[in-house]
C-alpha cells in the first residue's frame, strides 16, 4: 500500500524547492540579528514571499515576520507560541499502574504524587516536573492534549520536534508511545499523533498541498537498522534476540549532515504515505520487525532505541498581493514548509546485566547505554542558556542517537521527555534513577556540562 520514495519528491509536478532547515546562517535584518543555534524546519517562502506570521499570513509589517534575503524566516517567539511552549525541554512523568506480576508478588506502591502538584515523592526524595500523569496525577489521557498535540501544531508551522520515552524496561515506554505491535497499543502517542495529523490535513487540504514521509529505524549497539526494510518484514519472527541481518549486499545506514545542518539517513527506507491507514501500516510493520521472541530484561528491543519519524512537507498557495505586489493579476505564489517529528521509544535505562552460564546474574559493570548517556549530556548542554551563548559545544556526536536527533533537539525545536515509571516497590531503585535523570533534563542550569 505504501510507495517507496527515497528522497522528497516534488509536490506540484515542478521541481520541488529544497528543504530549508538551515541552522548555521546568521542574518542581519535591521535591528534583528538572526543567528539562532538551530532554526530547524524554518519557513522558506519561495520567490521572496513572507512567512506565515500568526497574526496574518504574509503581513509585511508584522513584527514577527522577518525577511532574510530570498528566504523568509519566522522569528522564534512565533515558533514558540505556535508550539505552545516557552522552554527547550519539557519533562513529564508517566506512572503506570501495578501490573500482573507485581500484583501477584504483592508489591506495594512506593511512588506518591503530591495532590494538585506535578510533584513526585519516592522515599525521602521529591522531584517537580512539568506534568505528572497516571496513578494519582492527571489522567494519562490528558498527556496527549497537554504535551504532544502542541508539537503536532508546531509541525504545521514548520518546527521540528522530538518526543522521548525514557525509563527502565517494563516501565511502559512502548505502551506510552504505541510502538508495541503485540500490545496493540492503539491509545499510544503515535496512533494519536496520526489521527490529529490527518484530521488537520483534511481541514487544510483546500489551500495547501501536503506530502508525508515516514521512516522507522532502530539503533542497537550503535548500529542503525531499518525497521521498514522489506527483508525484515518478510520474516518478522526474526532471530530470537540476535540482530537480524539487513538485506544482503545493502550498505549500512549512515547518518549524514548537509552543509546547512540538516540530518538525513542514507540508505534507510523513507515511505511516502497519503492516508492514515498507510501510516498505521508502517508503524505496525516496523513494530513487528522490532519484536523478538525474547521477553527477558536482556532482549533486543529493551536495549535498542526505536525512532518513528514523520516528515511533513507543505506547499501553500498565496495570492501575490500578500507579497507586496499589486496582486491585481490574480497571480499566485507558493510557500514551502518542511518539518519533522521524531517519536522515540528509548532503550531501557537500567544498566545492562547478563546471565552467566550457570544462571547467576552478574553486573556487566560499566555498560551504560551510550545513546542515553549522550542524550543526557546533550540535553544538559542545551538547557544551559548562559553557556550556550558563550558558544558551548553540544556533544551531539557522542552517539548515533544524539547525532540522528541533532536537528530536532534544541534551538527552535520542541522536545518532550516522558519519564515512564513503575510504582512497584521492587522497582524503587530504578524508578529513583529515572526520576533523577529526568530531573537533570529539566533542572539543567545548575548541573555540570560535559564539554568535549
Ligand atoms: P517498556 O517498553 O518500558 O519495557 P512496556 O510498555 O512493554 O514497557 O510495558 C510493560 C508492561 O506494562 C506491558 O505489559 C504493558 O502492557 C503494561 N503497561 C505499561 N503501561 C501501562 C499502562 N499505562 N496501563 C496499563 N498497563 C500498562
Ligand atoms: Mg519497550
Residue located nearest, by CA, to atom 9 of ligand 1? 172
Give me the count of residues in the chain. Answer: 452
Q: What are the distances in angstroms from CA 262 to CA 279, 306, 371, 406, 444? A: 23, 20, 20, 8, 26
Rounded to the nearest angstrom, the distance between the alpha carbon of 329 and the centre of ligand 2 is: 57
CB 393 within 8 A of CB 378: no
**Whole-angstrom distance, CA of residue 282 vs CA of residue 309:** 11
According to the annotation, is 172 in a ligand binding site? yes
Rounded to the nearest angstrom, the distance between the alpha carbon of 144 and the centre of ligand 2 is: 19
Count of beta carbons in the 10 Å neighbourhood of residue 433: 17
Could you tell me if the CB of 170 is within 6 A of ligand 1?
yes
According to the annotation, is 41 in a ligand binding site? no
Could you tell me if the CB of 96 is within 6 A of ligand 1?
yes
Of residues 238, 241, 214, 210, the one with CA closest to residue 228: 214
Could you tell me if the CB of 322 is within 6 A of ligand 1?
no
User: How, if at all, do strands 208-220 and 271-273 pair?
Assistant: antiparallel
% of the chain residues with pLDDT over 70: 63
Q: Can you read off the three cell numbers belonging to residue 372?
A: 542515553
Give 301 or 44, the one with higher predicted confidence: 301
Give 34 or 392, the one with higher predicted confidence: 392
Average pLDDT over residues 104-112: 94
pLDDT score at 441: 86
Buried b (16+ CB within 10 A) or exposed e, 283-300: bebbbbbbbbeeeebbbb
Q: Can you read off the three cell numbers belonging to residue 421?
A: 515509571
The whole model's pTM is what? 0.77
Residue located nearest, by CA, to atom 19 of ligand 1? 172
| Confidence bin at 323 (pLDDT 50/70/90) | low
pLDDT score at 367: 52
Rounded to the nearest angstrom, the distance between the alpha carbon of 173 and the centre of ligand 2 is: 5
**Whole-angstrom distance, CA of residue 170 vs CA of residue 181:** 15
% of the chain residues with pLDDT over 90: 48
Which ligand 1 atom is at minimum distance from the Cα of 302? 4
Which of the listed ranges 130-139, 174-183, 364-373 does the model predict with the highest average pLDDT? Answer: 130-139
Q: Cα torsion for 180, 181, 187, 192, to the nearest 10°?
A: 90
| Confidence bin at 388 (pLDDT 50/70/90) | low
**Residue 182: exposed, middle, or buried by beta-carbon count in 10 A (0-12, 13-18, 19+)?**
exposed
Mean pLDDT is lowest, of 62-66, 100-104, 171-175, 406-410, for: 62-66
Average pLDDT over residues 21-31: 31
Name the maximum alpha-carbon separation found in the chain. 83
**Whole-angstrom distance, CA of residue 14 vs CA of residue 404:** 30
Q: Residue 418 pLDDT more than 80?
A: yes
Could you tell me if the CB of 99 is within 6 A of ligand 1?
yes
Instruction: Enter the ipTM.
Output: 0.99
Q: Which residues surround ligand 2, an ion (CB under 5 A)?
A: 173-174
User: How, if at all, do strands 89-95 and 131-133 pair?
Assistant: parallel
Average pLDDT over residues 185-212: 92
What is the average pLDDT score of the chain?
Answer: 73
Residue located nearest, by CA, to atom 12 of ligand 1? 172
| Confidence bin at 212 (pLDDT 50/70/90) | very high
Beta-bridged to residue 254, according to DSSP, are: 266
Count of beta carbons in the 10 Å neighbourhood of residue 415: 25
**Whole-angstrom distance, CA of residue 349 vs CA of residue 420:** 10
Mean pLDDT is lowest, of 77-86, 326-335, 382-391, for: 77-86
Average pLDDT over residues 132-159: 93
Task: For residue range 424-437, list pLDDT tens digits in order.
Answer: 999 999 999 999 99
Beta-bridged to residue 217, according to DSSP, are: 226, 307
Local structure of 61: helix, strand or coil: coil
Substitution site in 137, 172, 287, 295 for ligand 1 pocket (most atoms within 8 Å of beta carbon): 172
pLDDT score at 373: 93
CB 253 within 8 A of CB 307: no
Q: What ligand is nearest to the CA atom of residue 301?
A: 2
Q: Can you read off the three cell numbers belonging to residue 357?
A: 552460564
Rounded to the nearest angstrom, the distance between the alpha carbon of 176 and the centre of ligand 2 is: 9
CB 177 within 8 A of CB 148: no
Task: For residue range 258-308, list pLDDT tens digits in order.
Answer: 888 889 999 999 999 999 999 999 999 998 888 653 344 446 668 899 999
Average pLDDT over residues 17-23: 34
Q: Residue 166 pLDDT more than 60?
A: yes
According to the annotation, is 174 in a ligand binding site? yes
Task: For residue range 45-78, list pLDDT tens digits in order.
Answer: 333 222 222 223 333 333 232 222 222 333 333 3
Rounded to the nearest angstrom, the distance between the alpha carbon of 114 and the centre of ligand 2 is: 28
| Confidence bin at 87 (pLDDT 50/70/90) | low
Q: What are the distances in angstroms from CA 211 to CA 271, 408, 428? A: 11, 19, 45
Beta-bridged to residue 308, according to DSSP, are: 216, 343
According to the annotation, is 169 in a ligand binding site? yes
Give 440 or 20, the one with higher predicted confidence: 440
pLDDT score at 140: 85
According to the annotation, is 173 in a ligand binding site? yes
Average pLDDT over residues 171-176: 94
Rounded to the nearest angstrom, the distance between the alpha carbon of 95 and the centre of ligand 2 is: 15
Could you tell me if the CB of 175 is within 6 A of ligand 1?
yes
According to the annotation, is 171 in a ligand binding site? yes
pLDDT score at 308: 97
Q: Residue 372 pLDDT more than 60?
A: yes
Helices vs. strands in the chain: H and E counts, helices first: 13, 24
Beta-bridged to residue 362, according to DSSP, are: 354
Amino acid at each position: 500500500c505504501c510507495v517507496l520514495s527515497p528522497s522528497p519528491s516534488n509536490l506540484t509536478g515542478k521541481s520541488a524547492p529544497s528543504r530549508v532547515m538551515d541552522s548555521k546562517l546568521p542574518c542581519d535584518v535591521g535591528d534583528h540579528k538572526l543567528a539562532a543555534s538551530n532554526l530547524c524546519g524554518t519557513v522558506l517562502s519561495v520567490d521572496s514571499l513572507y512567512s506565515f506570521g500568526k497574526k496574518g499570513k504574509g503581513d509585511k509589517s508584522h513584527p514577527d515576520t522577518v525577511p532574510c534575503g530570498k528566504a523568509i524566516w519566522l522569528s522564534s517567539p512565533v515558533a514558540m507560541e505556535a508550539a505552545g511552549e516557552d522552554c527547550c525541554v519539557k519533562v513529564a512523568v508517566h506512572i503506570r499502574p501495578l501490573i500482573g506480576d507485581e500484583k501477584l508478588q504483592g508489591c506495594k506502591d512506593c511512588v506518591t504524587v503530591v495532590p494538585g502538584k506535578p510533584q513526585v515523592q519516592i522515599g525521602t526524595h521529591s522531584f517537580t516536573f512539568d506534568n505528572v500523569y497516571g496513578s494519582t496525577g492527571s489522567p494519562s489521557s490528558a498527556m496527549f492534549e497537554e504535551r504532544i498535540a502542541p508539537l503536532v501544531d508546531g509541525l504545521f508551522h514548520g518546527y521540528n520536534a522530538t518526543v522521548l520515552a525514557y525509563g527502565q524496561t517494563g516501565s511502559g515506554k512502548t505502551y506510552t508511545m504505541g510502538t508495541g505491535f503485540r500490545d496493540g497499543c492503539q491509545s499510544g502517542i503515535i496512533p494519536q499523533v496520526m489521527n490529529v495529523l490527518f484530521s488537520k490535513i483534511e481541514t487544510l487540504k483546500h489551500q495547501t498541498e501536503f506530502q508525508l514521509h515516514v521512516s522507522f529505524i532502530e539503533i542497537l549497539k550503535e548500529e542503525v537498522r531499518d525497521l521498514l526494510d522489506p527483508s525484515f518484514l518478510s520474516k518478522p519472527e526474526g532471530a530470537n534476540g540476535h540482530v537480524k541481518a539487513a538485506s544482503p549486499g545493502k550498505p549500512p545506514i549512515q547518518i549524514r549532515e548537509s552543509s546547512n545542518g540538516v540530518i538525513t539517513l542514507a540508505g534507510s527506507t523513507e515511505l511516502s504515505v497519503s492516508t492514515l491507514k498507510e501510516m498505521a501500516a508502517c508503524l505496525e510493520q516496523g513494530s513487528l520487525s522490532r519484536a523478538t521472541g525474547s521477553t527477558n530484561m536482556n532482549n533486543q528491543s529493551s536495549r535498542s532505541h526505536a525512532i518513528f519519524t514523520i516528515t511533513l512537507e507543505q506547499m501553500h498557495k498565496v495570492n501575490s498581493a500578500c507579497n507586496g505586489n499589486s496582486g491585481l493579476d490574480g497571480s499566485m505564489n507558493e510557500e514551502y514548509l518542511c518539518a519533522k517529528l521524531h517519536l522515540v521509544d528509548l532503550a531501557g535505562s537500567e544498566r545492562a546485566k547478563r546471565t552467566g552460564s550457570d544462571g547467576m546474574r552478574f553486573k556487566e559493570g560499566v555498560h551504560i547505554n551510550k545513546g542515553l548517556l549522550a542524550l543526557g549530556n546533550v540535553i544538559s548542554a542545551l538547557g544551559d542558556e548562559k553557556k550556550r551563548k558563550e558558544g558551548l559545544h553540544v556533544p551531539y556526536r557522542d552517539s548515533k542517537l544524539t547525532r540522528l536527533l541533532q536537528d530536532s533537539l534544541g534551538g527552535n525545536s520542541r522536545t518532550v521527555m516522558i519519564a515512564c515509571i513503575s510504582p512497584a516497590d521492587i522497582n524503587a531503585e530504578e524508578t529513583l534513577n529515572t526520576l533523577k535523570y529526568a530531573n537533570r533534563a529539566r533542572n539543567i542550569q545548575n548541573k555540570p556540562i560535559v564539554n568535549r
